[in-house]
A and B are shown apart, each in its own frame.
Chain A
């Protein structure tokens, strides 16, 4: 379990980028008060989903507008071809924690090449 941020520092409608882990993770607080965590990097090209547009349970990539369902990670359609990896979120004593997935991430080709 990785501490991300104070719940009070993440108002509804906002996102937090946890970049102390590799690859970085984005934590979203939806307008309905739900918390979700997914890999921060779009599966299509290198863009931060925490910078995207949060609407309901979906985030739209700020670069090319593929939308990812924060509950499942599924992309609504092209240009993204692969789902984004989802993580668990726990809140304890006012702190938001991420429970990282043990599945492999779906990073975009450019980012993949950079990390190897």
Chain B
């Protein structure tokens, strides 16, 4: 393999470039990014960066003396993949031929169905530019409505509250994060908002946004209307795979991959938020949208690419995520599904410091910690040593 093109210049793309070089690849490396920025870290965009506590330079993922010997093509989108010529087509009409292709195009924030995109004051948060635009709108005294009580929504609510905005969160499901953490723990995390004077409305859908030029309210399906100066739509992300339609790369919820990151097209692997790897423990494909997945999987995907798919795929660590809200550190690892039992093993939900273990047939499958970092670290290790299917 003499040339590799990495499509996506964020966390997963950068880590794959590093892994390729670490594993001895000394050929031509091209990194293509749709954003104009060098690789940067996204988690702080809803936290320290949005709060203004850290700068753009602090987000840089590359070290100062790092030299990957790569050609960077930033600010240009990939528009297609020609599998026969093994060529990545770019939106500016040029193309890049490569023996190996890494798909690391990430995901795009979902917007409201039928959303009028022209209303000022309505935001999604995915990119550095999104964060700059949102930050400019988070002015003390304004009213923010957050649509969706997922991690992004919860973190923005927390940051905005600290900045002195009035905040209301609207969630369609009966509790925040119910699908990811179950209803009981979702309700426990929801209480963190209410403790800080953030209003949480669950079990109601959003009907429409109101306003002429700038948003002035959110109309709910039960007829209520919330006044709003700023709206954040935090209803998840969809994998950025449209450019691969018709390329021969199999797509489902993301790029369908084997357990080593290989796609249906030889010489093409996928990593990060856009990739749905087969998980032998779970018995199905599973798209992991977390930071740690985008850091861990590139090593495996690089080995798959360089070996032509013969490198054995190591067992996958259970997915892990963290979130900082209202000065509290929330961590979760593992896979849970409806019917798992949940027991609090350390601390106390009422004291807002607890560790909860999810079990299936008495086997631990997942762990949630709120301000219980030391105990969480031990449980996460323990989960990693047993199958979490």
Q: Contact partner of B55 among A52, A64, A79, A109, CB < 8 A? A: A109
Contact assessment for A109 and B377 in the assembled complex, using a CB-CB cutoff below 8 Å: no
B64, closest chain A residue (CB): A81
Q: How far is the CB of A58 from chain B (nearest CB, A)?
A: 14
Contact assessment for B63 and A114 in the assembled complex, using a CB-CB cutoff below 8 Å: no
Q: Is B178 an interface residue (CB 8 A)?
A: no
With contact pairs A53-B381, A78-B63, A79-B41 given, residues A109 and B373 touching in the complex (Cβ less than 8 Å)? no
Q: Contact partner of B63 among A51, A52, A81, CB < 8 A? A: A81
Contact assessment for B54 and A109 in the assembled complex, using a CB-CB cutoff below 8 Å: yes
Could you say which interface size class chain A belongs to? Answer: 10 to 19
Cα separation A63 to B15 with both chains bound (whole Å)? 18
Q: Is B130 an interface residue (CB 8 A)?
A: no
B322, closest chain A residue (CB): A63
Looking at chain A's contact residues, the main secondary structure is: loop
Q: Contact partner of B48 among A51, A52, A110, CB < 8 A? A: A110
Q: Is B376 an interface residue (CB 8 A)?
A: yes
Cα separation A110 to B54 with both chains bound (whole Å)? 6
Q: Is B84 an interface residue (CB 8 A)?
A: no
Contact assessment for A64 and B373 in the assembled complex, using a CB-CB cutoff below 8 Å: no
Q: How far is the CB of B164 from chain A (nearest CB, A)?
A: 18
Q: Tell me the residues in window 33-87 of chain A with beta carbons closer than 8 Å to chain B beta carbons.
A: 45, 47-48, 50-53, 62-65, 78-79, 81
Q: How far is the CB of A109 from chain B (nearest CB, A)?
A: 4
Q: How far is the CB of B188 from chain A (nearest CB, A)?
A: 21
> In the complex, which residues of chain B have a beta carbon less than 8 angstroms from the beta carbon of A79?
41, 61, 295
> In the complex, which residues of chain B have a beta carbon less than 8 angstroms from the beta carbon of A51?
373-374, 377
Q: Is B207 an interface residue (CB 8 A)?
A: no
Q: Is B250 an interface residue (CB 8 A)?
A: no
Cα separation A45 to B291 with both chains bound (whole Å)? 14
Q: Is B292 an interface residue (CB 8 A)?
A: yes
Contact assessment for B376 and A62 in the assembled complex, using a CB-CB cutoff below 8 Å: yes
Contact assessment for B63 and A62 in the assembled complex, using a CB-CB cutoff below 8 Å: no
Contact assessment for B374 and A50 in the assembled complex, using a CB-CB cutoff below 8 Å: yes
B57, closest chain A residue (CB): A109
B47, closest chain A residue (CB): A110
> In the complex, which residues of chain A have a beta carbon less than 8 angstroms from the beta carbon of B292?
64-65
> In the complex, which residues of chain A have a beta carbon less than 8 angstroms from the beta carbon of B381?
53
Contact assessment for A48 and B48 in the assembled complex, using a CB-CB cutoff below 8 Å: no
Q: Contact partner of B58 among A62, A109, A114, CB < 8 A? A: A109
> In the complex, which residues of chain B have a beta carbon less than 8 angstroms from the beta carbon of A1?
none
Q: Contact partner of B54 among A47, A53, A65, A113, CB < 8 A? A: A113
Residues 362-389 of B, flagged 1 when their CB comes within 8 A of A and 0 if not, give 0000000000011011100100000000
Q: How far is the CB of B324 from chain A (nearest CB, A)?
A: 8
With contact pairs A65-B292, A114-B53 given, residues A52 and B61 touching in the complex (Cβ less than 8 Å)? no
Using CB atoms and an 8 Å cutoff, list the residues of chain B in contact with chain A. 15, 18, 41, 44, 48, 53-55, 58, 61, 63-64, 291-292, 295, 322, 373-374, 376-378, 381
Cross-chain pairs A/B with CB under 8 angstroms, 20 sampled: A45-B44, A53-B378, A62-B374, A62-B376, A62-B377, A64-B292, A64-B295, A65-B292, A65-B295, A78-B15, A78-B18, A78-B295, A81-B64, A109-B48, A109-B53, A109-B58, A110-B53, A113-B53, A113-B54, A114-B53
Rank and list the top 9 A-B pairs by shortest CB-CB distance, nearest first.
Answer: A109-B58, A51-B373, A51-B374, A109-B54, A110-B48, A62-B377, A113-B53, A81-B63, A62-B373
